[in-house]
Structure 1
Amino acid sequence: RIERLDRPEVIELLARSNLLPAIFFIFSRAGCDAAVQQVRRSGARFTTPEERAEIRAIVEERTRTLLEEDLAVLGFWEWRENLERGVAAHHAGLLPAFKEVVEELFQRKLVKVVFATETLALGINMPARTVVLEKLEKFNGEARVAITSGEYTQLTGRAGRRGIDVEGHAVVQWTEGLDPQAVAALASRRTYPLNSSFRPTYNMAVNLIDQFGRARAREILESSFAQFQADRAVVGLARQVKDAEESLAGYAKAMSCDKGDFAEYSGIRRELSDLEKLNRKDANASRQTRDKRQREISELRRRMQRHPCHQCPDREHHARWAERYWKLNRTVERLRGQIDARTGTVARVFDRIVDVLASLDYVRVDADGAATLTAAGRTMRRIYGERDLLVAESLRLGLWDSLDAPSLAALACALVYEPRRDEPGERALPRGAFREALAQTLDLWQRLDDLERDSRLPGSEPPAAGLALAMHSWAKGMPLDRVLREADLAAGDFVRWAKQTIDLLDQMSLVAEPSLATVARRALDGVRRGIVAYSSV
């Protein structure tokens, strides 16, 4: 039986083979932290005394502005000791300042091994000589699934440092049930679909209309990559329709009858068959309905029996071809419907967005369909985010005018925060005016969501107040340790949501009425402090 090496043994093997520095991709934050602890418990070190001294100097310099009490909360000393061993974790739960230090030390070849989630593979300059994949599956939020060939290439693409390594190395660690052929298939595929997630937003619509006018804005969107993908899919559908129409012509010829129009005759037969099936299934129909259907069935039978093709000796042979004809014809109609739905999809979404904006007086549309911005529309040009319409309407209706700075920070947080799947449903909320403002905002969201659905738009998620109390406390000046306990979040997660809250508060300070803009600036100052201020630099 093959024995799986533990992580310190794998690192030692890589070191002996001159394959460090290395990135181990582990698809969970907890797994990354546990891997660092495993190396720590083993007592292994992968740095020289000179490298350890250099690491300590860099760490001290990069973190000198952090408060002493915050360092204790963040586990600073253990983190620094692990860095001096030459190992580190890298994931979204880490403080951004800590991640930046890890990246710098890895680039300088002082940290030899990083245990990272797959987010490291996106947009961060941390090339390694070797990439290690401990498993070829990950949890996607619902189930454990195999990684795709595109993900495999994205991860292993970190191996090989430009100008340093002639080649990079990708190591897939053995696990029970590992299929070498599956690994080879992952590694050998070199073409991957690129799918656009682009869709127009309210902010985008008002900015495009303001700059180019509605007609030109529509043309711009019709030339987008998302529309190109939809049109490219239409090409395939159109080819299917063409092939099917050729087959339909062949079926029509095969079912032709010397006695008369067999397509007409088979249509009567199909209608009769459908009505008889409906009559059998709908046993609870009223007596009046059943009598009406029976009369229709009798009339169809008479028409069928009087039709010239009913006397044809090859009638059933023709009927088999007719069945194929009508079945394929239904497929053609379905394909044509898909083509109609996909042609001009992005522009159609834009038109629906303009309709919503017009109904709320953000734009005015004249008889020719041209659109111009109102004062409210000009304000919306400067409001960005997933809930841009909700923010703009809340500001216009004055829903937040009674809030103080901490409460406005909490409300802004509720508009940007996305709760974890496992987050408890009910969380404590700030008291006072915040609760009334949140309730009014949720009522407004429901009205807007109904309007969007009536306009065949997807809508947005409702505000989520799970982090509101913690953000309220932070904006009031509560210490970091208490806020993180209240939030039940890692420091890096809290900082990320705080920075998004700052972004929305900054927008409010620029577009809100003067009194609320002043409150927004005070809220900004309350949130942008300590580790949040450091990470905002």
Structure 2
Amino acid sequence: MKYKEFTLDPFQEDAIHSIEKNHSVVVSAATGTGKTLIADYIIDKSIKEKKRVIYTAPIKALSNQKYRDFIHEYGKDKIGILTGDVVINDRAPVLIMTTEVYRNMLLEHSIVPDLSYVIFDEVHFMNDPERGTVWEESIIFSPKTVRFLCLSATIPNAAVFSQWIRDIKGHEVDVVTCDKRAVPLQHFLFDNEAGVTTARELKRMAEMEENYRMLQARKRKVKKRSLRPKPNPPNHLYLVEYLQENDMLPTIFFTFSRKQCWENGLECAKEFDFTSDQEKAEIIEEYNAIIPAKFRSMRSMQNLRSMLVRGIATHNAGILPMAKELVEILFSRGLISVLYATETFAVGINMPARSVCLQSLRKFDGRTFRYLYSKEYYQIAGRAGRRGIDKQGFVFAMVDKGYDDIPKIISITTKDVEPIVSQFSLSPNMVLNLVDNYDDYKIEEILKQNFGYYMLRKKRKRQVRIMASFNNLKRKLTKNDYIDKRTNRLTAKGRFAARLYADELLLGELLFNGTFNRLSETDINVLLGAIVYEPRRADKFYTKIKHPKVKVDMSNKLIRKRLKEKHLALVDDLVRSWSEGCEFKKLLSKSNLAEGDIIRFFRQIIDRLGQIMKAESSLTDKLKNSAKKIDRDVVAVEFY
């Protein structure tokens, strides 16, 4: 069978046959096997049949890439995008959105008419401890008439996952699997002393050294740990040199630190030059076309330019969105040989390379430093090997054999074995929406549809916990006047909070104590900035304000618990200056926040303003003016 001039693989044919039967399909296939071709088929079919499709992605970067790709493929009139703070062509037959936006639409009963399929790209994100519940809720609350295409890297429990969907939605769900990559991968480790080697060979070497230390410790009558070698972290430049000598470029060099991305890129640019004079001219021309003159004098842009002309780049959330777009364009044209990127570049973005390198197999996950899960490793490794170009892809992980846990590394890099598990959890917003739309019997029925209950239904323990959580949250919401105790209906405050999908209780209290009516448009921006600000240890704000200029009544326990007064002082100068017309370049001198972080911070403020306007029409004019003060210049782009 052929589609789009491609001869389809058996798993692609199987998926298409299932789609023709109007079944849902769970596709569990290794990265790089061509899963997205199945999504393309659904989109083509739906457009021809005048039906509609929703394509959900776990991150905005993937949503944006799909938006660009689909516009090129189907035309601008056929494609829309909704990412919370940006809405473009929302009546289009194909809508691209983050999974959170789709879930929110379902809770608001904003059903897309003539919707045939919802495509969940990277559905294994359901495993994410913080966000995974969104995927589960999206499946549970979707209309029974809608079918799903769930795309994922290898899912060991795909059959159980599909049976869960079949049971709660009442239609056929087929599983299609493909473990064989179109471009096979070779996996290596790189140690400063051992060089490029395999995990098992490095384990043998490490064991020999350990045995030698034990013998020496006995001879000298000292503790073995006193003879442990000093840390010897591997050098990325040695690995780049190896890749160049062995024709394994281009490479994506993943590191879990933005700062390290920049440092590595600048170090690499001092040692290597991968571009010809003609390529340099092409890179500079593209740089000047995309980066406006007023931003080119920024240090980050100068550093990026110095790397780009040598075929080296960095890609992370801290750089300007336009700079990320530039890097992606140059990389896709083959003008970048070494790209230092953070983990988000591995999520679905279709920009493979001949090789992939990992600076470490350990990362900080927001709570602790830990080794990667095998699924995380394979998500990154899957970027190696370009279909139709490379016969093999190469994956290199940098390790220190004296300190790294080699058996653990072997288990990570041997097989992608982590199943999908339930992360279903209840938020105040969900409880309010359940109370507003369903009776107690139906609420219990809905809660029983979660994947965790399906997996543990015989033990009942999970459901007891979920029902207890629901009742506990409902009591708190009733106590704080979000639910009327007498009628069991939402109060005005409850109806407002039910339309918000972040900080709903804090914003509910602030609205109903008159804070938004009292504050100026700029002060509202500062307040929302303090609410959305997520501090990092290294963050510095250079304007010291001892006492917040924005005064908030902190006597309310919910406000006191959720709003940090010190954040009101910290972000004041940054948000106030931008709201009052400060130039972006000058704004950078007010903190050490990266350009991309500042823009994302402001977009979060705009997102909250939009949610409040949607939930409370009396504030629309005032909050529109607040948004105009923020949504300008480099912040006011179409999408990220």
**What TM bracket, shorter-length normalisation?**
0.5 to 0.7
What are the Cα deviations for residues 430-472 of structure 1, in whole angstroms up to 9, with x where unaligned?
Answer: 988x4312xx1x44354685xxxxxxxxxx6757433233111
Secondary structure of residue in 2 paired with 1:93: coil
Q: For 1:51 and 1:424, how far apart are their aligned partners in 2? A: 39
What are the Cα deviations for residues 42-87 of structure 1, in whole angstroms up to 9, with x where unaligned?
Answer: 2x22123333333333333333xx4x33332353233123112111
CA contact (8 A) 2:428 2:473 kept: yes
- Among candidates 144, 151, 154, match of residue 379 of structure 2: 154
2:56 matched to which residue of 1?
none
Q: What amino acid is aligned across from residue 470 of structure 1 in structure 2? A: L
1:55 matched to which residue of 2?
283
2:449 matched to which residue of 1?
223
CA contact (8 A) 2:526 2:575 kept: yes
Q: How does 1:219-368 map to 2 (within 5 A)?
A: 219-228=445-454, 231=456, 342-364=462-484
Secondary structure of residue in 2 paired with 1:394: helix
Structure 1 residues 343, 165: CA separation in 2 closer, same or farther (over 3 Å shift)? same
CA contact (8 A) 1:218 1:350 kept: no
> Does 2:598 align with 1:494?
yes
2:214 matched to which residue of 1?
none
Secondary structure of residue in 1 paired with 2:335: coil
2:224 matched to which residue of 1?
none
Q: What amino acid is aligned across from residue 576 of structure 2 in structure 1? A: H
Q: What amino acid is aligned across from residue 383 of structure 1 in structure 2? A: L
2:416 matched to which residue of 1?
190
> Does 2:536 align with 1:420?
yes
Secondary structure of residue in 2 paired with 1:160: coil
Gaps spanning 5+ residues in structure 2: where? 1-191, 196-233
Q: For 1:12 and 1:425, how far apart are their aligned partners in 2? A: 39
CA contact (8 A) 1:395 1:512 kept: no
2:609 matched to which residue of 1?
505
2:556 matched to which residue of 1?
444
Offset at residue 22 of structure 1 (A): 0.7
Q: What amino acid is aligned across from residue 482 of structure 2 in structure 1? A: Y
Structure 1 residues 228, 164: CA separation in 2 closer, same or farther (over 3 Å shift)? farther
1:83 matched to which residue of 2?
308
Secondary structure of residue in 1 paired with 2:517: coil
Offset at residue 366 of structure 1 (A): 5.6
CA contact (8 A) 1:407 1:430 kept: no
Structure 1 residues 161, 444: CA separation in 2 closer, same or farther (over 3 Å shift)? farther
Offset at residue 412 of structure 1 (A): 0.8
- Among candidates 472, 494, 512, match of residue 396 of structure 1: 512
Q: How does 1:2-21 map to 2 (within 5 A)?
A: 2=193, 6-21=235-250
Q: For 1:185 and 1:383, how far apart are their aligned partners in 2? A: 42
Q: What amino acid is aligned across from residue 416 of structure 2 in structure 1? A: R
- Among candidates 343, 359, 362, match of residue 118 of structure 1: 343
Offset at residue 492 of structure 1 (A): 0.9
Q: For 1:17 and 1:426, how far apart are their aligned partners in 2? A: 48
> Does 2:638 align with 1:522?
no
2:550 matched to which residue of 1?
435
CA contact (8 A) 1:96 1:535 kept: no
Q: What amino acid is aligned across from residue 24 of structure 1 in structure 2? A: F
Higher mean C-alpha displacement, 397-406 vs 198-207? 198-207
Higher mean C-alpha displacement, 408-417 vs 191-200? 191-200
What are the Cα deviations for residues 90-130 of structure 1, in whole angstroms up to 9, with x where unaligned?
Answer: 22211122122212322232212111222322343322221
CA contact (8 A) 1:226 1:346 kept: no
Give the structure with higher Rg (CA): 1
Q: What amino acid is aligned across from residue 59 of structure 1 in structure 2? A: Y
- Among candidates 432, 447, 452, match of residue 206 of structure 1: 432
Structure 1 residues 518, 445: CA separation in 2 closer, same or farther (over 3 Å shift)? farther
CA contact (8 A) 1:406 1:523 kept: yes
Q: Which has the higher strand share?
A: 2
Higher mean C-alpha displacement, 151-160 vs 170-179? 170-179
Structure 1 residues 3, 360: CA separation in 2 closer, same or farther (over 3 Å shift)? closer
Normalising by structure 1, we get a TM-score of 0.68
1:375 matched to which residue of 2?
492
Secondary structure of residue in 2 paired with 1:155: helix
CA contact (8 A) 1:160 1:166 kept: yes
Q: For 1:228 and 1:61, how far apart are their aligned partners in 2? A: 54
Secondary structure of residue in 1 paired with 2:518: coil
CA contact (8 A) 2:530 2:563 kept: no
Q: What amino acid is aligned across from residue 205 of structure 1 in structure 2? A: V
Q: For 2:620 and 2:413, how far apart are their aligned partners in 1? A: 54
Offset at residue 496 of structure 1 (A): 1.1
Offset at residue 391 of structure 1 (A): 0.4
> Does 2:521 align with 1:405?
yes
Q: For 2:453 and 2:542, how far apart are their aligned partners in 1? A: 41
Superposed CA RMSD: 3.2
2:357 matched to which residue of 1?
132
Offset at residue 221 of structure 1 (A): 2.3
Aligned residues, how many?
408
Secondary structure of residue in 2 paired with 1:344: helix
Q: For 2:546 and 2:636, how far apart are their aligned partners in 1? A: 23
Structure 1 residues 448, 430: CA separation in 2 closer, same or farther (over 3 Å shift)? closer
1:39 matched to which residue of 2?
268
Offset at residue 427 of structure 1 (A): 7.4
Q: For 1:157 and 1:122, how far apart are their aligned partners in 2? A: 10
CA contact (8 A) 1:467 1:487 kept: no
CA contact (8 A) 1:130 1:159 kept: yes
Gaps spanning 5+ residues in structure 1: where? 239-338, 450-459
CA contact (8 A) 1:156 1:170 kept: yes
Q: What amino acid is aligned across from residue 283 of structure 2 in structure 1? A: I
Structure 1 residues 430, 477: CA separation in 2 closer, same or farther (over 3 Å shift)? farther
2:16 matched to which residue of 1?
none
CA contact (8 A) 1:90 1:116 kept: yes
1:299 matched to which residue of 2?
none
Q: For 2:258 and 2:576, how far apart are their aligned partners in 1? A: 27
- Among candidates 476, 480, 483, match of residue 587 of structure 2: 483
Offset at residue 131 of structure 1 (A): 0.8
Q: Which has the higher helix share?
A: 1
Q: For 1:92 and 1:129, how far apart are their aligned partners in 2? A: 23
CA contact (8 A) 1:7 1:38 kept: no
Q: What amino acid is aligned across from residue 138 of structure 1 in structure 2? A: K
Q: For 1:127 and 1:223, how far apart are their aligned partners in 2? A: 38
CA contact (8 A) 1:203 1:381 kept: yes
1:473 matched to which residue of 2?
577
Q: What amino acid is aligned across from residue 225 of structure 1 in structure 2? A: F
1:456 matched to which residue of 2?
none
Higher mean C-alpha displacement, 467-476 vs 197-206? 197-206
Offset at residue 419 of structure 1 (A): 0.9
Q: For 1:137 and 1:511, how far apart are their aligned partners in 2? A: 42
Offset at residue 429 of structure 1 (A): 4.6
Q: What amino acid is aligned across from residue 380 of structure 1 in structure 2? A: A
CA contact (8 A) 1:203 1:382 kept: yes
CA contact (8 A) 2:422 2:450 kept: no
CA contact (8 A) 2:359 2:398 kept: yes
Offset at residue 132 of structure 1 (A): 1.1
